[in-house]
Each structure stands twice: as C-alpha cells, then as structure tokens.
C-alpha cells in the first residue's frame, strides 16, 4: 500500500470536516442535502481513481483543477447519463467544498476561483404545475378526521401550506419553535445555513396545531420533541420525508377525483409553490414573498 502524501492527508481531513462538521452546522441540517454533498464528492474521488489513475493517497490541489472538473462533468453526462440539472447540482457541491478548502488552506484558494468560472450546463427547467386555492381547499378536505393519522396529515398539510416552508424545515420543527399563545402567533423556522426567520400563523393553522399538540404531545409537550415525529422512533425522531410524500400522494389521489387541478404526484414543494403563488395573487410584494420563503 502506497504511503499517503502530506497534502493528500490534509485534503482528506478537510473532506471529513466539511461533511461531518461544516455542512451540518453551516449549510443545512437536512440529511438529503448532506447526502448530496457526500455523493458528489464520492463521484469525483471515484472519477479521479478510475479515469485519471489518481489514488486517494495521491490527492493534491492539482486534482481539483478546472480542466479535470470539466472532464468529470462530461463523464457524468456521457458515461452516467446525468442530466444538465444533475451536473449543475454536482458542480455546486464541489464548488462549496473548494470554497471551504480555500478558506482553510490559503494556498489552495485559487481552486475555488477557477471552479466558479466553469459555466453551468443549460438546463430545461421543469415547470411546477400550480394549484389553485380551490385545489388546495379540496386537498385539505380529504383526510379522514375520524382517524389519528388523518388528523395528523391535515395539520401537517395546513402547516406546510400556511407557512410555505420547505419540507425539512417543517419536519425539523420542535414544540419550542411554536408560539401559539402570543398576540401574533408564529413559528420559528431554522432554514438553510442555519438562518432563522419568523413566520406568522393564521387562526386556522393555530387552531389545528393546538388540537394536534394536545392529542399527540399531551398537556405538557417536551420542548425538544419534534412536532411531527416518527411513529416508529417516537417524539424525539423526525417524521421522514418519504413517509410525508407517501401520505400526500394518497390524499392527492382522492382529491384528484374531485378536482383535477390536484396533481396525482403531489409533493410538499407544490404546496409551498401554491402558497407563494397565492400570496402574489393577493398583492403581496415579491421581495416580501422571497423573504418568507427563505430565499437569499
């Protein structure tokens, strides 16, 4: 086994710190986002090994040069069948790592500068099918309120729609983040990059959340319990995005029969998109909407 060079050891340590410390604390607490960074770096290291003959023990700054990165993107498209959008996502992940690396190793700062000059692939943007207010109303009418799961699903959908927050932001909510008994009821959202924003709640959402908390968390909820938790793990484990999507699609199939504007492949982002569209229809300023959505 070849002995690793000093520079390869340094880079390997930075990859580990980037994935296990920096991304979870500074970029996002979403497991999906973390996996995306992990996968992009794994693909790149794998490309260096199999296509460029560069083992992990020989990693160096030159391995992350612009020419090699461009070859990698071409390989992703031609050999792995990656779309332009996927390539752009992989490039964004690699750029984020190189920015981190350059901030820790000043002599490697040039790598990040070079990577930012690599043009993104032209991608065909998929148009998200909008949902009218009527479609949302129909969707919210279908959960079976005689069941505990139905009452949970309705509260979850109302919370997603009323706040227009990202799914992971909603699933990361803890009971301490809900402020329902104040003059202006609100929820504290911790978004990307640990940025905090306050979203105010309308009376309907407040009413459903209060009933939900009493039923699912009792009279004295633990502040550290997740609002929407995993049935298998308990209140200290997040409900998974897979479980949410499964429930959304189930309700969408029922709602679609009553209103064909409800997409059969409904996912949480469409509720977020619908709320943003409805805010715009109601005359809200686009800058205000951007802030509420947690955009830069």
Which CATH number do you get for residue 75? 1.10.150
In a domain, 142, yes or no: yes
Last residue of a domain, one of 116, 143, 178: 116
Distance (Å, whole) CA 231 – CA 246: 14
CATH number at residue 192: 1.10.443.10
Last residue of a domain, one of 116, 141, 167: 116
The number of domains in the chain is 2
Q: Specify if 126 maps to a domain.
A: no
Tell me the C-alpha distance between 277 and 223, whole Å: 33
Tens-digit pLDDT profile for residues 19-67: 999 988 776 666 778 888 999 999 999 999 999 999 999 999 999 999 9
Is the pTM for the entire model greater than 0.85?
A: no
Q: How many whole angstroms separate alpha carbon 87 and alpha carbon 83?
A: 6
Confirm whether 124 is domain-assigned: no
Domain-embedded: residue 122: no
Please check whether residue 127 lies inside any domain of the structure.
no
- 15 in any annotated domain: yes
Q: Under a CB-based contact definition with an 8 Å cutoff, are residues 234 and 217 in contact?
A: no
- Rg, C-alpha atoms of the chain: 23
Alpha carbon distance 265, 247 (integer Å): 11
- Cα–Cα distances in Å, from 136 out to 43, 148, 152, 154, 278? 40, 21, 17, 12, 11
Low-confidence ranges of the chain (pLDDT < 70): 1-4, 27-30, 123-130, 296
- Any residues with CB less than 8 A from the CB of 149 and at least 6 apart, and which? 247
Q: Is 86 in the same domain as 151?
A: no
- Is 256 inside any structural domain? yes
For 245, half-sphere exposure in the C-beta direction (CA atoms, 13 angstrom radius) is: 10
- What percent of the chain has pLDDT above 70? 94
Last residue of a domain, one of 68, 83, 116: 116
Domain carrying residue 65:
6-116
- Asked whether residue 175 is assigned to any structural domain, the reply reads yes
- b/e for 253-272, b at 16 or more Cβ within 10 A? eebbeebebbbeebbbebbb
């Amino acid at each position: 086994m070849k002995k690793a060079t000093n520079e390869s050891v340094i880079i390997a340590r930075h990859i580990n710190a980037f994935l296990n410390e920096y991304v979870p604390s500074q970029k996002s607490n979403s497991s999906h986002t973390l996996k995306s960074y992990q996968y992009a770096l794994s693909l790149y290291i794998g490309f260096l090994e199999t296509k460029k003959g560069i083992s992990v023990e020989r990693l160096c700054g030159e391995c992350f040069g612009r020419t090699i990165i461009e070859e990698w993107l071409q390989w992703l498209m031609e050999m792995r069948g990656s779309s332009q959008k996927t390539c752009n996502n992989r490039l964004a992940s690699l750029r984020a790592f190189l920015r981190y690396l350059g901030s820790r190793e000043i002599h490697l700062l040039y790598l990040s500068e070079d990577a930012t000059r690599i043009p993104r692939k032209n991608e065909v943007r998929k148009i998200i099918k909008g949902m009218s207010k009527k479609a949302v109303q129909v969707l919210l009418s279908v959960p079976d309120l005689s069941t505990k799961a139905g009452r949970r699903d309705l509260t979850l959908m109302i919370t997603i729609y009323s706040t227009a927050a990202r799914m992971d932001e909603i699933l990361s909510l803890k009971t301490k983040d809900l402020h329902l008994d104040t003059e202006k009821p609100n929820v504290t959202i911790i978004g990307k990059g640990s940025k905090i924003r306050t979203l105010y709640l309308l009376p309907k959402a407040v009413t459903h959340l209060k009933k939900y908390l009493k039923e699912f968390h009792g009279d004295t909820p633990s502040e550290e319990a997740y609002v929407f938790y995993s049935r298998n793990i308990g209140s200290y484990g997040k409900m998974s995005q897979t479980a949410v999507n499964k429930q959304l699609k189930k309700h969408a199939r029922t709602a679609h029969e009553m209103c064909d504007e409800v997409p059969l492949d409904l996912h949480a982002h469409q509720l977020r998109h619908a709320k943003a569209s409805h805010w715009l229809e109601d005359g809200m300023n686009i800058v205000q909407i951007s802030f509420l959505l947690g955009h830069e």
